[in-house]
Structure 1
Amino acid sequence: MAGCYAQRVFGSALRMTPRVVLVVLLVLLVSLASATGAEPVPQSQPQPQPSFAFYYGNDPPVELLSAYDAAVIEPESGFNPLAHALPHTTWFAYASVGEVLPSRSYYAALPKSWLVGHNEAWASRVVDQSQPGWPAFFVEHVIDPLWDRGYRGFFLDTLDSYQLAAKTDAQRAQQQAGLVAVIRAIKARHPDAKLIFNRGFEILPQVHDLAYAVAFESLFRGWDASAYRYVEVKDADRDWLLGQVRTIREQYGLPVVSIDYCAPADRACALETAAKIRALGIVPFVTDGQLQTMGIGAIEPQLRRILVVQDPQPRTDLNTTDGVRYVATPLNYLGYTIDYHDVRQPLPQGELRDRYAGIVIWLNDQVPRVGEYRAWLARQIESGMHVAIFTSFGTEMDGQFAQKLGLQTVAGKPANGTLAVESSDPQLMGFEMVPRPDPGNYVGVRVGPGSRSLLRLHSGSFTIDAAALTPWGGYVMRPFAVFELSNVDQARWVVQPMAFLRAALRLPTDAPVPDTTTENGRRLLMSHIDGDGFASRVEFRDSGGNATPQSPEYSGDPLYRMLRDIGVPTTVSLIEGEVSDEGPYRAFAPHLRAIGKNIFGLQNVEVATHTFTHPLQWMWVTGLGDAPSKEATTEGGGVANYHGLSIPIPGYQFSIDREIAGSIKFIDTQVAPPGKSVRVVLWSGDCQVPEPVLKAAYEAGVMNLNGGDTLITKSNPSWTAIAPIGVRKGRYYQVFAPNQNEELYTDLWRGPFYGFRRVLETFEMTDKPIRFKPIDVYYHMFSGTKYASMKALREVLHAVLAQPVTPVFVSDYSRNVLDWLDTSVTRDGRFWVVRNGGQLRTVRLPAGKVPDMTTASGVVGYLPGPGGTYVHLAGSEARFAVLDASAAPHVPYVAQANGRIEHFSRTGNGFAFDLRARVAPQFWLANVGACRVTQHALSAKDSLHVDVTCGS
């Protein structure tokens, strides 16, 4: 198509085709010196140096490490680099060349004659580098397994340890030659591997061309492992190191990293030391002596994790706890992921401020080991960690404990059994219902100086503060957090949870928030079908069907026609036991599989499994929870058999592997068409899947979805009915469905069968005034059996497709969520830097703020929307400053698009991009009044290339 000016786009000059739609709107939217006086080390490379982080603890905080170019991990931490593939972060594995710990897996295979000394400080053995077989052994037993696990870099430590055993120049030369041979062997086997040398200054002349960077330890602050203490580095030692740095920079042009050590609680020491190192032109990283905490490097990413301490019922799934049901949703919206901890277990020790932006405590009863809990809480407050406490302090409030919290105990009790509100903060209290004091349920405390009462209650001279903001955080006592409406099985927030958490935890209000609801300004739309009821017969005559008494139709038949005609991207699952010849429907199972093949053959359908036998209570069947009642209800309204499985298979004993990997294999080979395979497991039953079940899905290489139970409606208008994005269980993350399915709108299929229409209320109430969720049209195969349910389903689909949405598959959304977990947000002067794996493409700014498009990189555009401004990211890294919308420059950009934008590039007089959509592509441009817009279809279906040229 020949280009046309933007002001002509609605005229005949722009030709429209059925599969490629172009819409262009003119949218006018609104360095420190060293303490020793040392001079900076000359740098031969003008470009910025890479940033480096070192973390040897368990559960590496990816949302922080992803901000760095190179992150060194202790491989025995259990970290899986393949699960966190990040384009801008190389995962380096720690690998000791000169020494070996007896605990290492390869120690047993190492010939003991190759060990020539001890390092008593670290309880390790020194390896003879001159052994001819050592390079091949090291590559085969150390490097190759780490490469296979996904590491693409190696931090080669203990390169100087040979000096503990080599006493003569000849011996030292032999050891150095052996080290060179090891390094060359690594690069010979893995040419693309990046290598960081820890010291090894003596061998650099021979192998500097194989190095990515050189590191050393203790330029200003060191760690004495034998004495277990932090030490100041002597001037002479520092001067010698700086001489080595000059040689490396001037002769080899390599980045140089100094790893220094400060006590983990001494943040001032870490900041000061990092600044001194940086002032000398050296890349800093300051951490603790064991490298177990997240240190401070050349950058300092925003903390995006919250610790929630709670007291769940024993042998129940995490999904049902108050921390998940209530706390997680507002924190997720603010951009925070959550680690949960049972207060009955030993409390987390050590420095917590390195990874947590705050602590939330939600306790319903008094805690065991009260003394340990009180001491732990006091330590967190003394360390400067902010804490928000809900419902109960977890212990009796005596004078000593109250004093530690800056509170005063109040003696006595309410007069005449009455308790009334004396004052209430109008911004934070009375959010969904007014406070209702209970004279039998209160905590007798009052705030002291420096605190602010949010809810003061009185009864005569008896006065208490039931909620307050304090210097250490804040608290809201029962029943003024969530008020239970037990008669209708609902709840209401009394406190405004988001505002309270922000204020109590001192959370920043200006940082970009990674957002899973939106892409390129449009709300995400997905749809998925749980396989329940695929063997159920259709109870009405569909005008498009061919049913006869001899050849009845099943639920999948009308659903196939609807999916074909409407074209909405849908993830469809089957229960293997329902369509298998092993199951109870073997007489017509081949016919069911044929229907499934037709559905899976549609281009707009993604293949999923709903497991083998559809377990109903996952905690029970895995032996981790208590047995349910014998009359446990299934998803479809039937009664569970005693095995807790919906589909009885003769002789079958429950197996996690058979439910997940087995059902995937069956669907891939027996139902899915060639070239298509299972991409998602949709959890069945109560969806309360424990960590071992999640692990099976991750190991099978599929995404996961379901659980959460979002069911906010006009008859239940509470944020307590909005589930969070998901929940972390050990090393794995369960992704919740954005909203609930048709069963709870049809009263578990007891009627009304058209009740799913009310899901439109849920979609509306999770979008405005705050967009908590994308849209998910989620239902079961049962919906295909009744006229009323099919009519309601069509109405819902047509209604959401008429809205400004970006249609995606469930797997797309699930990948967005996992990338949300890994996203880092870092302030660099006046700029923000956002990094991730390139799946999540949106961050949200406060309302009235916009990115400065004149200096932004990696930003496609933005659009004001519910709750703020949605910034569209071009890929895995973006850098932008933030302006008031009124000061936004008149620069062309993409305001909206209904697909994924790829290959975005900005030129001096415009920009270009590819748009790949799941439906007919559409986009809207802003500030293009003087620009020429051209587009042409790409070879891929529903894809196009766009060029925008402005000026002459």
Structure 2
Amino acid sequence: MPCTTFAQQTPATTGSGAPAVTSSVSASAPNIAWYYGDKPPVAQLRAFDAVVVEPDHGFDPSQFKTPKTQWYAYVSVGEVTPERSWYKELPKAWLLGRNAAWASRVVDQAQPEWPAFYVEHVIKPLWDKGYRGFFLDTLDSYQLVAKDDASRAAQEAGMVRVIRAIKARYPDAKLIFNRGFEILPQVHDQAYAVAFESLYRGWDQGSKQYKDVSDADREWLMGHVRQIRDDYHLPVIAIDYCPPTDRACARETAKRIKAQGVVPYVTDPDLSTIGVGRIEVLPRKVLILQDRDPRTTIDTSEGVRFVATPLNFLGYDVEYADINKPLPASVPPDRYAGVVVWVNTSPIKQVAALSSWVRQRIHDGVHIAFLNQFGLPVDGSMADMFKLQLVRGRANGPLSVVSQDKMMGFEMAPQPERREAQPIKVSANGQSLLRLKSGNFEFDAAAITDWGGYVLNPYAVFSMDTVEQARWVVQPIEFLRRALALPDMPIPDVTSENGRRLMLVHVDGDGFASRAEFPGPEYSGEVLLQDVWEKYRIPTTLSVIEGEVGASGLYPKLTPRLEAIARQMFALPYVELGTHTYSHPFDWSRTVPGAAADRAKEGPGADKGGGDTAFTLSIPGYKFSLDREIAGSINYINERLAPPGKRVKVLQWSGDCQPPEIAVRMAWDAGVLNMNGGDTTITRSSPSWTEIAPLGIDKGPGAYQVFAPNQNENVYTNDWTGPFYGFDRLIETLQLTDTPYRFKPINIYYHMYSGTKLASLKALKKVYDYALSQPVFPIYSTEYVVKVLDFRNMAIAREVGDDNTWVVRGDGDLRELRWMAHGTPRLADAQGVVGYDKAAGGIYIHLDDGAARFTLAPEAEPAKPAYIAEAAAFVRNFARNGNELSFEAGGYYKPFVRLANAGACRVKVNGNPARTARAQDNTVRVDLTGAAAQTVTYQRIDVVC
């Protein structure tokens, strides 16, 4: 139920002579949200300091890592509904009356046993679940039944006893009161904060209508606000109501409340949307609706291949839906920044459903971008819905370009195709991006509108089938930014940390049993151990295929020798362990239940040789099992090959790297991370962003697959057919994914068989040498994986009334933001920001632990204090005290810290004066000691300026 149970009551005397409060909310006042819906969106709500939830919906606060956010349980004191778990235990003689608006019963607060009952049956079960705060609602409900002063006094005294009983049993419990103005003089010292409803906009439950609050009611409330704030020194929160899709109403109402010196929270009457408080959490989900071929996996769909990457770069996580299946019932604007529709066939089968669905999204204010086709008949109904003009005629001859925006012709010029001409033009509400004509027939093939925008085929992605390549005709980042009306925001960035481009190395186990084709060590693993891993002592993730190495696999006679090599490489201090499955499935679509019959039809000979057309390695007697592939191979490595203190951390997908939802979920259930897949293969000969894969793919609840940032040598050597030096072309990929925008970290990803040939080994060393010559920060692959997961869930919020101040909260694994607009962080009052630096694509802002609050100020801001401009190290426990800095730093490979504005500063490392390198640009470099290991050795740095 919403917070209160009856309409606001105002005494006859309003105290209108009191001065109006116009002060703004204190910066130390808490950000508090209320959310009573099912499955609270923790990723966004974590931006608030406290969130009140409905505990009866099953939310378990102990299951979520939100150190900056405390979860409060909604509890009703004055009323109870029969649905509450404790209702059946409540003596019915304690029920005094009814509240018809909410179908609830009013509880007699004067009953002597009521306080003990309430603590035992209501508070204790919630405390045991992990709640440490409680929102006490319906504190005024007694007024529905107590009609004289004596009755009211008895009820108020009973509520005071309840509150004191809670604090006596749980002294650390934080209590937020909903009103309770009459009892505050007696229990204000028990309260953490006081909330009330409807300072400007209210909701009448009886009439189901929104109502503006009168000046008299508002001034009466403000009288209580002044007393609570000035006499009791408690935060005061006003909960107001707007329609759930009217974010402008919520935003403007929150500004008005904040101007009164009250903490605002504006939400819908059901409290089931992410409201606007002192901060507004920006939605970071985009839904891609597409008509993919059911015979293919989602991995190869256009939404994954083309659309997700620019959206990731802009800071958005992607969800997918099939346009030919039931469409998502709700795409609320508090969660979703927009919708992208990619349709290959138009019109689709369920035209009516799509038309109604799109109309609802436009009504809700969720912007939509259409790519390729609309999926709807281009007729009067569609034109009216999209506010487009239907034009007469048709393209009977060649098309010519009348006008085009600068975002068109990005990777190739538009190739007009009259067979794709659609008879539409934008109206006054839109801007044409590409206008074409044939005779007197003119139409807009691409446009920006007030509801979103569109780019029709072939002006989004042009497919060059003869060379198996594609090109963006429209600049996708700019088009999606404008069509979806995406705001400037600090973008969580997984490519960098502390200004340095991240570098990770991971190796799939294929070919571990292969022999080298040149004199020296016998097996490929031995070659790589001696020539690569012992030379390049950087964080590295190594894996094996159990079916190649173990005694139950292909080569049991070689097992003793191969296992010895594996143990030796796994024992290296800078190596973490992965599994590359048991039998190396090649076609993961055939691993799902129901595919066994298809495999049986092919007969045992289909697996011989284990080539890319096979299902798995041909292991004698093996009956395929997903559990054996995943949990079984993990257990084998942990029990047979792992040194003490190490365990498998990641599953590296094999074959086509397109595992089904069930397999991905099984990997998570096995307690390991997962990666591989994605096809980032952009090179000078195919220099297109269509060749850059997204961060990963959500295949269902608990089934997110993280893609490898770059592809392996198999791709660069034409499926290992040659040239075997081809992997050195990875350098082109690394360069093209760094400028003009940094899309990816550096990832050296290869197989064990790279150690079998001199050409491939030489190419591998060339790639290593190039990567380590760049300004990189080497980390483990699993440290990258958790950054991607943190990217998905990081909350980005903007201060209401101050578009330049931001609140950012994540898990602490992702510690870099990218800012692509004007300004730099104002460091003097920033929290959680250790510094910043300019790099490809904007300003890179460095965080301490993944949580920050900062203001972006003009770059010409004078007297900037010292800060960390760059570090090949992790930074933690950062503190600023005037002109002094202190923090801890440590890294795996040649760690250092470069301080800006520090030319006149003294630096100590672990209490001793540091040897520094001072530059003419007023920066100071401090080199640290460090070596790659399973944990980081941190050193304390003190800076006095």
TM-score, normalised on structure 2?
0.84
Are 1:39 and 1:280, in contact at CA under 8 Å, matched by a contact in 2?
no
Partner in structure 2 of residue 10 of structure 1 = none
Partner in structure 1 of residue 771 of structure 2 = 800
Partner in structure 1 of residue 839 of structure 2 = 865
Deviation of 1:701 (Å)? 4.3
Change over 3 Å in CA distance of 1:140–1:46 after alignment to 2: closer
Say yes or no: does 1:144 pair with 2:112: no
Partner in structure 2 of residue 789 of structure 1 = 760
Are 1:850 and 1:888, in contact at CA under 8 Å, matched by a contact in 2?
no
Deviation of 1:541 (Å)? 4.5
Question: Which stretch of structure 1 is more off in the superposition, 231-240 or 626-635?
Answer: 626-635
- Pick from 636, 643, 646: which aligns with 1:676? 646
CA distance in 1, matches of 2:214, 2:809: 38
Mapping of residues 151-170 of structure 1, within 5 Å = 153-157=133-137
How many percent identity over aligned positions? Answer: 48
Say yes or no: does 1:755 pair with 2:726: yes
List runs of 5+ in structure 2 lacking aligned partners: 1-13, 911-927
Partner in structure 2 of residue 311 of structure 1 = 291
Are 2:52 and 2:73, in contact at CA under 8 Å, matched by a contact in 1?
yes
Say yes or no: does 1:183 pair with 2:166: yes
Partner in structure 1 of residue 393 of structure 2 = 412
- Pick from 33, 43, 52: which aligns with 1:53? 33
Mapping of residues 710-749 of structure 1, within 5 Å = 710-732=680-702, 733-749=704-720
* 3-state secondary structure, aligned to 1:565: coil
Say yes or no: does 1:277 pair with 2:272: no
Are 1:162 and 1:175, in contact at CA under 8 Å, matched by a contact in 2?
no
Partner in structure 1 of residue 517 of structure 2 = 540
CA distance in 2, matches of 1:35, 1:878: 42
Are 1:555 and 1:783, in contact at CA under 8 Å, matched by a contact in 2?
no
Question: Which stretch of structure 1 is more off in the superposition, 121-130 or 760-769?
Answer: 121-130
CA distance in 1, matches of 2:165, 2:663: 41
Are 2:108 and 2:155, in contact at CA under 8 Å, matched by a contact in 1?
no
Are 1:430 and 1:494, in contact at CA under 8 Å, matched by a contact in 2?
yes
Are 2:498 and 2:869, in contact at CA under 8 Å, matched by a contact in 1?
yes
- Pick from 466, 469, 491: which aligns with 2:445? 466
Partner in structure 1 of residue 788 of structure 2 = 817
Deviation of 1:347 (Å)? 3.7
* 3-state secondary structure, aligned to 1:440: helix
CA distance in 1, matches of 2:839, 2:248: 40
CA distance in 1, matches of 2:126, 2:282: 34
Deviation of 1:206 (Å)? 7.3
Change over 3 Å in CA distance of 1:688–1:143 after alignment to 2: farther
Say yes or no: does 1:638 pair with 2:611: yes
CA distance in 2, matches of 1:114, 1:576: 69
- Pick from 460, 479, 488: which aligns with 2:458? 479
Deviation of 1:50 (Å)? 0.2
CA distance in 2, matches of 1:239, 1:292: 29
Change over 3 Å in CA distance of 1:709–1:153 after alignment to 2: farther
Are 2:870 and 2:898, in contact at CA under 8 Å, matched by a contact in 1?
yes
Deviations 1:349-384 (A, max 9, x none): 567322333322211222343233223323433444
Change over 3 Å in CA distance of 1:134–1:947 after alignment to 2: closer
Change over 3 Å in CA distance of 1:445–1:839 after alignment to 2: same
Deviation of 1:578 (Å)? 4.3
Change over 3 Å in CA distance of 1:351–1:793 after alignment to 2: closer
Change over 3 Å in CA distance of 1:196–1:232 after alignment to 2: same
Change over 3 Å in CA distance of 1:930–1:278 after alignment to 2: closer
Change over 3 Å in CA distance of 1:659–1:651 after alignment to 2: closer
Are 1:613 and 1:649, in contact at CA under 8 Å, matched by a contact in 2?
no
Are 1:330 and 1:497, in contact at CA under 8 Å, matched by a contact in 2?
yes
1:361 partner letter: V
Deviation of 1:763 (Å)? 0.7
Are 1:520 and 1:896, in contact at CA under 8 Å, matched by a contact in 2?
yes
CA distance in 1, matches of 2:35, 2:594: 32
CA distance in 1, matches of 2:592, 2:83: 32
Deviation of 1:288 (Å)? 0.7
1:261 partner letter: Y
Deviation of 1:663 (Å)? 4.0
Mapping of residues 482-561 of structure 1, within 5 Å = 482-509=461-488, 511-534=489-512, 536-541=513-518, 543=520, 545=521, 547=522, 553=523, 555=525, 558-559=528-529
Deviation of 1:786 (Å)? 3.2
- Pick from 342, 349, 359: which aligns with 1:362? 342
Are 2:395 and 2:421, in contact at CA under 8 Å, matched by a contact in 1?
no
CA distance in 2, matches of 1:722, 1:425: 26
List runs of 5+ in structure 1 lacking aligned partners: 1-33, 548-552
- Pick from 234, 239, 256: which aligns with 2:236? 256
Change over 3 Å in CA distance of 1:240–1:848 after alignment to 2: closer
- Pick from 347, 355, 362: which aligns with 1:381? 362
RMSD: 3.9
Question: Which stretch of structure 1 is more off in the superposition, 171-180 or 452-461?
Answer: 171-180
1:538 partner letter: R
Change over 3 Å in CA distance of 1:185–1:123 after alignment to 2: farther
Count residues in correspondence: 895
Say yes or no: does 1:453 pair with 2:427: no
Deviations 1:107-128 (A, max 9, x none): 7996897995876645567789
Deviations 1:202-234 (A, max 9, x none): 776776555433333334433344543334457
1:284 partner letter: P
2:485 partner letter: R
Say yes or no: does 1:430 pair with 2:409: yes
2:391 partner letter: V
Mapping of residues 74-473 of structure 1, within 5 Å = 74=54, 85-94=65-74, 121-122=101-102, 130=113, 135-138=119-122, 141-145=125-129, 147=130, 153-157=133-137, 172=155, 176=159, 179-180=162-163, 183-184=166-167, 187=170, 191=172, 194-199=174-179, 211-232=191-212, 245=225, 248-249=228-229, 252-314=232-294, 316-349=296-329, 352-365=332-345, 366-415=347-396, 418-425=397-404, 427-473=406-452
Are 1:41 and 1:282, in contact at CA under 8 Å, matched by a contact in 2?
no
Deviations 1:912-949 (A, max 9, x none): 33221011212323333333333346898654333333
Deviation of 1:719 (Å)? 0.4
Partner in structure 2 of residue 928 of structure 1 = 902
Question: Which stretch of structure 1 is more off in the superposition, 759-768 or 230-239?
Answer: 230-239
Deviation of 1:197 (Å)? 4.0
* 3-state secondary structure, aligned to 1:670: helix
CA distance in 2, matches of 1:428, 1:315: 34
CA distance in 1, matches of 2:216, 2:596: 66
Partner in structure 1 of residue 48 of structure 2 = 68
Deviations 1:686-724 (A, max 9, x none): 333444444444444433322221111122211001011
CA distance in 2, matches of 1:853, 1:503: 31
1:935 partner letter: V
Change over 3 Å in CA distance of 1:764–1:660 after alignment to 2: same
CA distance in 1, matches of 2:329, 2:909: 58
1:213 partner letter: A
Change over 3 Å in CA distance of 1:45–1:304 after alignment to 2: closer
CA distance in 2, matches of 1:653, 1:171: 72
TM-score, normalised on structure 1?
0.84
CA distance in 2, matches of 1:53, 1:250: 23
Change over 3 Å in CA distance of 1:41–1:438 after alignment to 2: closer
Deviation of 1:430 (Å)? 1.3
CA distance in 1, matches of 2:165, 2:772: 60
CA distance in 1, matches of 2:333, 2:24: 37
CA distance in 1, matches of 2:684, 2:607: 26
Say yes or no: does 1:878 pair with 2:852: yes
Say yes or no: does 1:909 pair with 2:854: no
1:599 partner letter: M
Are 1:42 and 1:249, in contact at CA under 8 Å, matched by a contact in 2?
no
Deviation of 1:37 (Å)? 8.8
Are 2:682 and 2:688, in contact at CA under 8 Å, matched by a contact in 1?
yes
* 3-state secondary structure, aligned to 2:878: strand
Question: Which stretch of structure 1 is more off in the superposition, 284-293 or 344-353?
Answer: 344-353
